[in-house]
Structure 1
Amino acid sequence: MTRALLSGSLFEVSSTDKDNVETDAGKSATVSLRAALKTTAAVVFLSGFGVTSIALATPAVKQGIASAIASRAQIDIRVGRNDSAGRIEIYGSTGSKASVRREKGQVIVRLPGNLRPDIGDLSANPPEGISAVSIRQDSRATELLMTLKDGVETHFGRADGAVFVQIDLPKPETPAARGDITVTLQELSRTNKAASAASVQVKATAIDGGIDLSFPFATPVGASVFRRGESVWVVFDQEVDLNLPASLKGGAVVTSAAYARNDGFTALRLTAPAGAVTAKVENGLWTVRVGGRPVDAGQVSEVSVARDDTTGASALAVNMAGASRVAWIRDPAIGDRMAVVTARGPVKRLMSERTTPQAALGATSHGLVIERMTPDITVDVSGDIVTVSRPNGLALSAPAQWAREDVAARTLEYKPAAFPALMDEENWSKLPTSGPMSGFLGRYNQLQQQAADEADKGIGATTGARLSLARFLVGQGLNYEAIGVLDMLARQTPASLSDAQFRGLRAMAKIMAGRYRDAKADLDSTPLINDPAADLWRGYVAVQDGHFADARQSFKSGAGALDVFPPIWRTRFAAANATAAYQMNDLAAAKDLITYAVSQGAPPLETLEAQLVQAQIFEGMGDKTRALKMYNAIARAPLGRVAMPAQLRAARLNLSLGKSKPDETLEALNGLRYRWRGDDTELELISSIGDIYLGQGRYRQALDVMKTGGKQFGSSPDAVQIQNKLSTAFRGLFLEGQADGLQPVEALGLFYDFRDLTPVGADGDDMVRRLARRLMDVDLLDQSADLLQYQIDNRLQGVAKSSVAADVAAIQLMNRQPEKALQALWKTRTSLLPKPVMAERRILEARALTELGRTDHALEVLGTDNSGEAMDIRADIFWRDKDWAKAGAILEKRLGDRWKRDGALSLEDESRLIRAGVAYSLVSDQRALSRLADRFGKFAEGAQSPEAVHVALAGMDNGPINAQDFALAASKADSFTGWVAGMKKRLRDKASQPLPGAGTQRTAANEAAKAPQA
């Protein structure tokens, strides 16, 4: 039988509740929670949401549990089920040593030592075929006793490092007849294919920063949607097959997806480490959005949670219209159970978590999820009311506290802001003017003491005093201190992470501390999804990150909250919005927004910052004279962060208006650069200085200064823009010919100093080959070969690598290094090459062997190759072997019918003619020599060495030609010089063509680098 339990994938689905078999509810709660906390995933998850059951347990209880209950690393009991069988597997350092026997209708698992395994889940929810589970202990071992039902067969053994007990049922039961089914995702997938179920084609649509998942059901269905740690759960109250698109595997937002269906439910689990989750339903079409902006769900209602004491035992009553059923699901990432309540549309959500010692109601985007609960928790659905209870009642706070009356907060006059992310610096920073608590220290000490008293009350304490302390610190500009207080509050009271006021305050503190990326996590959290004030902060952060389109949309969504902010922040938000509009080239909107910003009555320096943006907008609109006057006026401000950018832009504008020279502007900008460091102004300075250097052709200085901006500021939008400009400049130098005016040695030094800017792909390869060609032209052959060899070793593969290796071999031959030429060829040898590349490499190998005197081997390499290059090498070989007749015949054949055309001979043909004449003379072939003279004698006068041509065609036996003249003619017949000249021309032509197998398309990154920057 296929195993029902596969590593880490266990999750259970059941519509029926579970009966508790433990009588001590507090103990079982602590034991169950303690077991869950043994996994890293559980620790991370639970620490973020606050479970009070451990805090409420007495020290004696906690000590007893710690000494008696084995950890999962010691004894880990796992249960799997399907239609016909059940399986229990026992892992761990102690569990894997267990022995198993069957005795009188029981299966007995004997565990060495006196560690007590956690059987809370197994007792409350045993697999089919087991009627009861208990434990007995003696001084030597602990025994787990499982009582079997009649007719049940078992077998047991060891597999995969675990002890297993297989339970075979006499007859398979239908899913509807069982109270519980626990299977793996893989097992359910197999069951799904075997059973008949409707199919739903899930559609995934990428949106800006997120993904939409659409579920088109044929009939109305209930659903529940929520996030749990890094997982997003979507549960429906119908069994269907979900056809998941391939894009859900390994995507940027959702990294994996798996679903299971059973007992009338379908549960989809997505792994999505970040991003808010929202849902909507229209005409049966459920849409779940992960990440990005919240989906427009229309009218959304909040789930109401109240205390219910009508039955005598305390319970929670949740009013959720359209509630349908309860699905019991085991989370494979954490290992605990949760009860998921589905509901029909429209969307109903629980914005913040509600926690009790025995159970927690998690925040949801729709529906309800009950988690971190003791085994005896029951969840019932009756109409629109969902009741969460236990046999002896839930341990709830006093009714007044349950109504969330915050006595401490009242004492501190803490009041929630009208919008969770609303800034009220003026009121938060007020100081008493009289009494013992007057002044900063008095007020700070008072708030700190009250915050400490509040924290001492434990995990369930109110948070008003600590939030008041954090507000006071923010109001005083002590933002890092406020972040510290809020982070400690999150650790002490994890439920505060579901509080919109907490999230908004921490986001503000982080933004004002310049930690924009950290602030995004709070701004994108579920409690702040629909807060217009948070939208304004999102827009402000988006401007800092250079995401101007997102900023414009966020500012638009938050416009309703702008007027309730103090003047200083109305000015800042409007100025940031104007900046975004300016960058989007919406100059009319930018002008209106900046006019609003400077009219808000903010402090003078804040107004000056807005006017600096206003001057930039005037400059963009073409009113440069007015902009220059404003820059000059703002440049006299006593605040550096305002004055420095004004001085920079004034200097740059003077240059563009012709009022200053480039050298004067450079002197001014370099002075500013060393006076002001570390922010966007320095980046703007670096970019401006680099542009002027490039305009003057001072490439090294330009690259040097721009490279500092890319290194120091990381992923800042302006730094990325400078890096793109730097890459574009480097491309212009070595790919578009701007460096052709530099001396080759100077160009080589510039390339080596900035070689990390070489783009990937075909463009980078072209750069190297072009530079290598320039070095070759001036006989810097070692440097040219080194450049191409680096390309072979680090950048190229396949055909392109073999082709460039042939270029290296040719350069090494020119450099009289035949051994290195052979190494370049042999190290890149492969049979999967185009015929032209193979032929080129064969010719070069034969020439290198010839240079080494291995002429027989060279002829073997040439084989039947009758190309012109191969014939030249054969002629060289016969010449070296003094086989003059064969050498002369081949050389004359290579000249072909060139005698029929006018014009001077090429250097190679002239060399062939001289050597052919010498060869025929040496074998006294007068007939051949006369034929050669008749055909090619007319070229002697226009030759580069006319005397040598005359001597070679005349022969030693004709006229006044002596041995000395003949020796001189032979020395002029240097085939190597002609070959080098021809090879240089071929390599020059080859450098302007794409590499074989490398493609001709430029990479998207390189095209982006070439695009003009905004």
Structure 2
Amino acid sequence: MPRSASTLALALLLGGGALLPAAPPLRAAAGPGAPAVVPLAVPVRAGVHPGMGRVVFDWPEAPGYSLVQEGEMVDLRFGTVVRLGLGGVVAKPPPNVLRVEPVPGGLRLHLRPGARLRHYLLGPRLVLDVLDPPGASPTLPPRRVAEPAPSQPAPSQPAPSQPAVSQPAASQPAVSQAAPSAGPARAEPGAGAPPALARREEAALAAIAALARQAEAPAAPAPVPHPAMAAGDAASLPAEAPGPSVPGPSAMPSPSPPLAAASATGAAPAISLAAPQPVPQPAPQAEPPRPQPVPPRPLAPASLGGSPTADALARAAAPLPRAAAPRPAPLALPFPAGTAAAALLRGDSLLLAFDSPQPPDAATLRRLAAALGPVEVMEVPGSTVLRQRKVRHPAQLRATPEGGWALWPEDAGAPAAPAVQARHEAGPAEGQPRLLLRAEGAGRVIAVPDPAGDGLLLLGLVAPPGAALHGAQQHAPFDLLPTQAGVALAVRSDLVTLRSVPEGFAVPLARGGALALQPAPAGETLLALPDEPVSALLARRHAAFNAVAAAPSLARGPLRLALAESLLALGLGVEAQALTTLAVTEDPRLASEPRAILLSGAGALLAGRAEEAAAALEDARLPAAQQDVRLWRALAGLRDDELAPESEAALREVEATAPLLRAWPEALRRRLLPLAARSLAGQGRADTAAALLRDLPDGEAATPGIAYARARIAEAQGDHTAALAAYGSLAEGRDRDLRARAIGRMAELRLAAGETDPAGAAAALAAGIAAWRGDERELSRRLRAAALYREAGQAEAALELLEETLALFPDAAPQIAALRDAAAMQRLVQPGLPALEAAQRLEAEMQTLPAGPALDAAALRVADGLAGLDLHAQGAALLRQAALRSAQPAPLRLREAELLVSAGEGAGALAALRAAPGEEEEDDVRREMTEARALALSGDAAGAEAALRGLGAAGAARLATLLAERKDWTGAAAALARHAAASLPAAPAPLDEAQRRLLLRLAAYQALAGDEAGLAALRASYGPRLAGGPLAEAFSALAAEAPRPGLPDLDRLRREVAMGQALSEQLRSLR
């Protein structure tokens, strides 16, 4: 029944229940041709006010918004693309708000337990007030000293009052808010209103005037600030300048005690309907001139029309100076190191269990009570179990580095606990499934009364470091509860047991009966999708269709949703989504209904429209606690790509809600069970996937989708023979999707088993590309085949495949281009490519290949190949081009100079050396040597000799050659002797051919120089080591002792003749 005009005006005046118009549905995403939407920047600020914290959104015009509160979490979404300035609010939330999180299109508030929320529009601004919990110490604003107002004569008539803003009651359900068409105009009290309303307005103004007079009285001592405010003050809202906007609660005087009590309970205040006493009105006078607006002073409270009441209220609101509260420290518990423990929140109670028969003494209990509140000891034989009731700020139990336990207060920043991993597996006994909870340091299992009911909790105690179960799972016989340490089961069946095993804890299960893996009966769902025969589902669809046809046009919306639900149960996703869209289009009230949103997302998922499904299923208006919402979201989060990893969060949700999937109709199971099972098996959860497919009806178990999922399970369990047989059968089937998947899995499995090489696997994957085209799966397969081609050394095949892929998938150009460039670089340096062809390709692709170490290495490799063909100048030119693009050109320039020296171009070599100075010490010798050779080629023999002498033994060999060219045999012999002493191994190590040639060359230089002493020393040192080997006769002839004057040296003559004959024979063999 609508409210009367007087009741509505009075509610608006005194802060009664809010009447908010419904928000329009969110605008659809723009099409491809639509212009890009620029997000609207909206500043957000927070403040502290008596009894509440406040968040204000400074919109340029009144926004449309939706607000959903579930327990202590509040989701706020706006109906337009917005960018909220949340920096200061996130860093320092207002009182009664624990945390602020930005979400797409809005934000999420985590409220203090017991805090209440009210929201309203203040002109174009949206205001959120978070009220203190009932019975809590009141929140106080920061105290600031107000400047005295300038004295002015009292007005001859009261200033016109402004209408009060409407404030919704606390803890209200989800509300949609739309922007009003225009703001209310300022008016005189009672102007144009009915007499009854005018009397109520006059009574309200009288109450406000009385409050103002109380504020002008001498202020009482300021109360002690709330402990929650000791950590720091939130920024207060600046005062609003007078204008047409409706003032917020901060601009109004504090309510009288009856009003304050009523607003504290969240209900409208009790108001007497008797006629109020008339308020004397002053004689009408001419309206005084409106004063010029004065800019508000920073951090000043809101103005009350320039009256002295503002200063009185500012003085009353000023807080006492205080110091910042220290961060609370953990409270150590008196249990020996290594004691196993468990902790969890259950209902409004905190349970702490320890494997110690000795409970804490009275002094410890008093310390716990001082830190947490009243703590009681529960009677559990052999263990100590503590319970804290009515928990508002739960502490966290964490292990200490010393192996003990400590309680961390809520705001002390407790460290994260290791996670307990839950998974279904076959178990050690044949045919005996179990739920394994992997936890380090598993201890005893104890049973304690359930604080949330009449049942029992089975607690698995763990030793430090204290692994915890972070997620919850619901099953028919039991529930897995989230814990702070250990594991906890809320049992529904007397057959449930929790056992300690070496891996952690285990819950024995069964394939049927009370311990079978079935959905929990307590889990509620939004959609009714019962596992009924097809005939029953068809009858349900027929009845729903008849109901829609018989209903009036404006009453068909909910009936269409029921019909869409029956279509979804039959597996008709396209039809279900289309019918839901029609229902929402003709009845916009359904746009925000969770059932319609879920039907749209589920239908899109069955229809293969992944993007539309994700957009609908991630809508914040869906209740996240519903079992089917969790399951549909998890299924939509699966990528279903064999070559890409799945989301760990999605897999956990599929595991937790998979029993509900088995309870859906057969048409849905045929579509979704294979998806869930193959995704679980592909990510190492083969046991859970096998349990999901166990005991299916014969007709359903024989479908190709289930066969492929079983093959994935066999592959994950190591049964490659069975998996290959199943893949081979599916590869010859008619299902294109499964055929393409089976071809890919066969290639990968054979490669992993060593039955084929990377080249064979790449060829098999490339041959199967035609089986499935046009989406991310084809792209993944092409990239995988190209990677295998490169691994096999077939860079040409990889490059060809990547070029084709780039033309088909231009959106993936950055990813494909990087792989293509790597393949092109690999092709340049592969051993089988001729040097001339490699040089031509590198020269043609030099400007397109990415610069970097790979390009430098390829250029050096190709240049060395050209040098092997005596094409030194061509190799040097190629290195010159590569050096222009390289970030480290010094190695390229040095090799270019070496090639130019080999080509006889001394001036070019010197220019190359000077273009890029050396950067590495190990290149100094090469650089000096090359420079000396280049100087010699340029005609600067003196400079070359000086450079070589500066290198010492490293340049001695080159110096000897240079001096020999100048016929300086003495200097050449001395330089070569230094080189021989530094490079030849010590006796009695054998000498190779190069070392023998070095000694023969040294003997020739000494003989030409007439150095008999040097020849004698050389003969004595190396003659025995050269005897009997190659070049021994030549060395003996050159190093032989010179004949005495006047005596023929017949032996030497004989040796020289023999040597000449040997040389003649060698020359004859070369003809």
TM range (shorter): 0.3 to 0.5
More strand by share: 1
Identify the structure with bigger relative contact order (alpha carbons < 8 Å, sequence gap 6+): 1
Considering fraction of residues, name the structure with more helix. 1
* TM-score calculated relative to the size of structure 2: 0.43
Q: TM-score w.r.t. structure 1 length?
A: 0.45
